[in-house]
C-alpha cells in the first residue's frame, strides 16, 4: 500500500477530473480513497472477509458477496433451465450453452460458444475473464502474493489453496473410520485407501497395483524404465517429478519457505512443516490399519504396524 498524495505526479481518472492519489504497488492501479485501495489489495493477497450464509463461500469484497447472493435468488434466472446467476451478463453467457451452432443442431447436441480465443495457443473461452486468466500461462504474470511466504500465484484460488494447506491448521475433513483430520477432500480420499486397501492404479507391464498415481509412476521408472527422471544438477539425485526436484534444490540453497504459524521455525518442505505442527497439538493423526491405535508421528505407527502383523 502506497500513497502519493503529496507528490505532483498524480494521475487523473480518464472518466472524471478527480485525482486518485492512492497507488497499488502490485498492479499500479490508482484509487480515490484509502479504503478503496485496501479493498482492492485483497485481490492480491487472497484475503476473503465476506462469507455467504447460504453456501459458505468467501469473497474479498462486500460487492462481490452481494453479487454472489443473486445465485441463491431468482432475479437473474435462465428461462431454459431455471439456473440462477449473479447478474444479467452471466445469464447471457450461460444461454450460449442452449444455443449451439447449425452442425450441433443437426446432430441434436449442444456445444458452448467460445468466442474469446487465445492468439498464442488457439484455446477458446466462453468469457473474456477466463481468457485473461489463461494469458497468465504465457506471460508468467502472478499478481497474487502470499503475505506469509511471498510466494506468487496467477489466480486467487491458487493462493487461497496454498494458504489453506501451508499456513493454516484448519482441517475440516475427517475420516469416518479413524477420526483423522485433513485439510482437503483430496487428502482424505488418498488416506481412505489405508482402510479399504483399494489399489486403483495398475501397471500395464506387470500385475502390480498401487494406491496412488505417484507410486505407479515411480514403479514405471524404476522397474520398467518408462518415463523421465528429474535429476538434481548439484548431487545427481533423481526424482519422479519436477516439483519434488525443486523442493530438493531448496535444501542446497538453504531456502526454507514453509513457516510455522505457531513458532518462528521454518522448513524446507510442506511435509516437514506438517510433521513439526504436531509439536503444538495433541492430535494423533496417524492410525494403525491393523488395530486402529492412533499415533502422533508417522514413523511411530510404521514401527507399531510391523508388530501387529
pLDDT at 99: 65
Q: Where are the alpha helices (DSSP H) in the chain?
A: 34-45, 62-68, 88-94, 96-99, 102-106, 128-139, 156-166, 185-196, 213-224, 242-253, 270-277, 298-308
Instruction: Count up the domains in the chain and report the number.
Output: 1
Q: How far apart are CA 169 and CA 155, in angstroms?
A: 22
For helices 270-277 and 156-166, give the axis angle rounded to 10 degrees.
40
Contact 260, 254 (CB under 8 A): no
For residue 266, name the pLDDT band (cuts at 50, 70, 90).
Answer: confident
pLDDT the model gives residue 16: 55
Q: In this model, does residue 7 exceed pLDDT 60?
A: no
Burial label for 216, CB within 10 Å (0-12, 13-18, 19+), is buried
Identify whether 16 is part of a domain.
Answer: yes
| Residues of the domain holding 33 | 2-45
Domain assignment of residue 248, yes or no: no
- pLDDT for the residue 101: 41
Which residues, listed in sequence order, are joined to residue 58 by a DSSP beta bridge?
51
Is the pTM value of this prediction over 0.95? no
Residue 42 has pLDDT above 80, yes or no: no
Q: Work out the percent of the chain whose per-residue pLDDT is above 70.
A: 86
Nearest to 22 by CA among 41, 43, 47: 41
3 state DSSP class of 19: strand
Mean pLDDT across 170-183? 79
Q: What is the pLDDT of residue 107?
A: 37
Kindly state whether residue 270 falls inside one of the protein's structural domains: no
Q: What is the mean pLDDT of residues 36-49?
A: 76
CA angle, 27 as apex, 123 and 8 as ends, to 5°?
145
- What is the model's pLDDT at position 35? 82
Whether the pLDDT of residue 110 is over 50: the answer is no
CB contact at 8 A, 164 and 170: yes
Mean pLDDT of 68-95: 82
Span 124-128, average pLDDT = 82
Residues in the chain: 309
192 pLDDT higher than 50: yes
Has residue 12 got a pLDDT over 70?
Answer: no
From CA 27, how far away is CA 271, in angstroms rounded? 33
Q: Which residues 6+ apart lie within 8 Å of 85 measured at CB?
A: 70, 71, 76, 77, 78, 91, 94
Q: Is residue 8 part of a domain?
A: yes
Mean pLDDT of the chain: 76
β-sheet bridge partners, residue 116: 125
pLDDT value at 15 more than 60 = no
Q: Is residue 101 part of a domain?
A: no
Residue 142 lies in a domain: no
Q: Is pLDDT of 111 > 50?
A: no
Strand pairing partners for 30? 23
Residue 23 included in any domain? yes
Q: 275 pLDDT exceeds 50?
A: yes
Q: Is residue 40 part of a domain?
A: yes
Q: Give the span between the Cα atoms of 307 and 8, in whole angstroms.
A: 76
Q: Which three cell numbers stand for residue 110?
A: 449442444
Question: Among 166, 195, 167, 198, which residue's Cα sits nearest to residue 180?
Answer: 195
Amino acid at each position: 500500500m502506497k500513497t502519493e498524495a503529496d507528490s505532483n505526479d498524480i494521475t487523473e481518472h480518464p472518466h472524471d477530473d478527480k485525482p486518485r492519489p492512492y497507488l497499488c504497488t502490485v498492479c499500479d492501479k490508482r484509487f480515490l480513497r484509502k479504503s478503496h485501495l485496501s479493498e482492492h489489495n485483497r485481490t492480491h493477497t487472497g484475503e476473503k472477509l465476506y462469507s455467504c450464509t447460504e453456501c459458505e463461500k468467501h469473497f474479498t469484497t462486500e460487492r462481490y458477496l452481494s453479487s454472489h447472493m443473486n445465485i441463491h435468488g431468482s432475479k437473474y434466472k435462465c428461462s431454459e433451465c431455471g439456473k440462477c446467476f449473479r447478474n444479467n451478463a452471466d445469464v447471457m453467457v450461460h444461454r450460449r450453452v442452449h444455443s449451439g451452432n447449425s452442425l450441433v443442431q443437426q446432430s441434436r447436441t449442444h456445444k458452448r460458444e467460445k468466442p474469446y480465443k487465445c492468439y498464442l495457443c488457439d484455446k477458446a473461452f466462453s468469457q473474456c475473464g477466463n481468457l485473461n486468466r489463461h494469458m497468465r500461462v504465457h506471460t508468467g504474470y502472478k499478481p497474487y502474493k502470499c503475505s506469509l511466504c511471498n510466494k506468487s500465484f496467477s489466480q486467487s484460488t491458487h493462493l487461497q489453496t496454498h494458504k489453506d494447506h501451508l499456513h493454516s491448521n484448519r482441517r475440516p475433513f475427517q475420516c469416518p473410520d479413524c477420526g483423522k483430520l485433513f485439510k482437503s477432500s483430496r487428502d482424505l480420499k488418498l488416506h481412505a485407501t489405508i482402510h479399504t486397501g483399494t489399489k486403483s492404479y495398475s501397471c500395464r507391464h506387470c500385475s502390480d497395483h498401487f494406491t496412488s498415481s505417484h507410486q505407479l509412476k515411480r514403479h514405471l521408472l524404476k522397474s520398467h524404465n518408462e518415463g523421465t527422471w528429474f535429476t538434481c544438477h548439484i548431487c545427481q539425485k533423481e526424482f519422479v517429478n519436477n516439483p519434488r526436484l525443486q523442493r530438493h534444490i531448496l535444501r542446497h540453497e538453504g531456502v526454507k519457505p514453509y513457516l510455522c504459524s505457531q513458532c518462528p521455525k521454518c522448513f524446507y518442505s510442506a511435509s516437514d512443516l506438517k510433521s513439526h505442527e504436531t509439536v503444538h497439538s495433541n492430535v494423533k493423526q496417524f492410525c494403525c490399519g491393523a488395530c486402529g491405535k492412533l499415533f502422533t508421528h508417522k514413523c511411530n505407527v510404521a514401527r507399531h504396524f510391523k508388530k501387529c502383523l
